[in-house]
Structure 1
Amino acid sequence: MKIIPYSTITQWYQEEYSQEESESVYGSPQEHLLKFYDVLASYPDLKTVLDLGCGDGVDMISLAERGYHVTGIDQSGEEAVLYRAKQKSLDNVNFITGDITSYPFDTQSYDSVLCSGVFHLLSAENIELVANKAKKALNPGGLIYLDVVANMKRVFRESAEEFTYSGLANWSAQQAQDFFTRLFVDWSVLELFSFHKEADWPVKEGPYPIDPYHWSADYVCVIAKNSPA
């Protein structure tokens, strides 16, 4: 299997998310995130959301349109996110440029924390680190959504060669489920679900630092709630 330097991922996201007026990569929230939206809406007292690894802000903008005060953090994408917020006259969107593995989040500062489509791009050590930081950032009685893109297989479309990026956890679905079970052992797990997905990447043409490829994976998703104070 070919190993590609992790720096390629960083380069890709910097190029994709630095385009202020570009459309979101996904266009609209993905179906598994809509399930989280529905659960969040069932707790009307929860008003603030922290989106870890927010990317191009598709979930930030969608949640802000629903009335939540949303803070997102990522290493790039501020211009694109704030541009879309301005276009929609949203003043409840805040972007922090930073690395989620090292940024010092305040303890008990948000009613809800979201981290989606991120953990498969981290080492096992950093998955653990970010997940625990997310828990600490949550207010008592708050809601958290996390997912792991597990059993990931990437194959270049032209050469049919399988590859991966260096330094990633590359968890199986069982490893992800076991991790979430351990992580939320003292919490109320409201949803723990999984599904299979395949897609071509990138989803649109552009001068990307990697050849087009096809990927398949099993998403493992959890929605959990901690105890009120």
Structure 2
Amino acid sequence: MSAADVIAAWNRPSARAAIHPTRGISEEAYQESGRAQAQALAADIPDGAKVMDFGCGDGRVAIPLRAMGYDVTGVDSSPRMLAALAERAPELPTFQSDGSDFGKHLGRRKMDAVCCLAVLIHHDYATGEQLVENLRAVVKKGGILALDWPISDNPSDGHGWIGVTTWSQKQQDAITERLGMERLGVDRPWPVYRAL
């Protein structure tokens, strides 16, 4: 699925209800899932770091990270999602981007860390690889990238906005080697890398 298709899907009014499986359980379960993921990210990201949450949606993870003392910038392609985040945390800095124009928003500024959860699964291989490259470009040397891009023994280029793209270990290794990313040996729900 192309980036434009994903952006259009997330901009629909119904997308906010579908943003995470726990939202179907309760709003509190949804918020708790964000706090739990923020705690998991904090295990790998240094205290007080400048963190970009790419695909931040309505701030489920960005808001708890900020409450933990991180200098968080929320980035999403959907103005509807960013408006929902602004309702909940108007002081949290954000900008709208599909991941292709970080330089326009950041200039030469680099982040200490980038998290990208439940985003790459919605994109086809070509778009996903380009996003990983663009995310790597905004992380300083030695910085952290937490990327939710699942590996499968039977990788599949997902179809449809709710489809899931999975990767082979060989695909990921080739991309991360080319981009100068070292996978850390940590047990998290997503791979964590150090920018070399």
TM-score (norm 1): 0.61
The equivalences for 1:1-229 within 5 A come to: 7=5, 10-15=8-13, 16-17=15-16, 26-28=30-32, 29=34, 31=36, 34-40=39-45, 43-44=46-47, 47-76=49-78, 77-86=81-90, 91=91, 93-100=92-99, 102-105=100-103, 106-107=107-108, 109-149=110-150, 164-165=159-160, 170-172=165-167, 175=168, 177-185=169-177, 186-191=180-185, 221-227=190-196
Residues 191 and 94 of structure 1: is their aligned pair in 2 closer, same or farther, counting only changes over 3 Å? farther
Task: Give 1:8 deviation, angstroms.
Answer: 7.9
Which amino acid counterpart does residue 171 of structure 2 have in structure 1?
F
Residues 74 and 12 of structure 1: is their aligned pair in 2 closer, same or farther, counting only changes over 3 Å? closer
Q: Structure 1 unaligned segments of length 5 or more: list them.
A: 1-5, 152-162, 196-220
> Using the alignment, how far apart are the partners of 1:96 and 1:24 within structure 2?
26
> Using the alignment, how far apart are the partners of 1:25 and 1:52 within structure 2?
22
Check whether the contact 1:120–1:150 (CA below 8 A) recurs between aligned residues. Answer: no
> Using the alignment, how far apart are the partners of 2:142 and 2:108 within structure 1?
14
Which amino acid counterpart does residue 143 of structure 1 have in structure 2?
I
> Using the alignment, how far apart are the partners of 2:57 and 2:170 within structure 1?
27
Check whether the contact 1:24–1:58 (CA below 8 A) recurs between aligned residues. Answer: no
Which structure features the higher share of helix residues? Answer: 2
Check whether the contact 1:78–1:97 (CA below 8 A) recurs between aligned residues. Answer: yes
TM-score (norm 2): 0.70
Deviations 1:48-93 (A, max 9, x none): 111111112111101110111111211221221112114xxxx3x2
Identity of aligned residues (%): 21
Q: Which has the larger radius of gyration?
A: 1
Deviations 1:2-51 (A, max 9, x none): xxxx8487335431349xxx9589323275653222111xx33x521111
Check whether the contact 2:51–2:113 (CA below 8 A) recurs between aligned residues. Answer: yes
> Using the alignment, how far apart are the partners of 2:195 and 2:31 within structure 1?
31
- SS of the equivalent of 2:149 reads strand
Check whether the contact 2:37–2:61 (CA below 8 A) recurs between aligned residues. Answer: no
Check whether the contact 1:124–1:169 (CA below 8 A) recurs between aligned residues. Answer: no
Which structure features the higher share of strand residues? Answer: 1
- SS of the equivalent of 1:70 reads strand
- SS of the equivalent of 2:121 reads helix
Higher relative contact order (CA 8 A, sep 6+): 1
Task: Give 1:114 deviation, angstroms.
Answer: 0.8
- SS of the equivalent of 1:54 reads coil
Check whether the contact 1:25–1:56 (CA below 8 A) recurs between aligned residues. Answer: no
May I ask how many residue pairs the two structures share in their alignment? 171
Q: Structure 2 unaligned segments of length 5 or more: list them.
A: 18-22, 153-157
Alignment root-mean-square deviation, CA: 3.4
> Using the alignment, how far apart are the partners of 2:75 and 2:131 within structure 1?
12
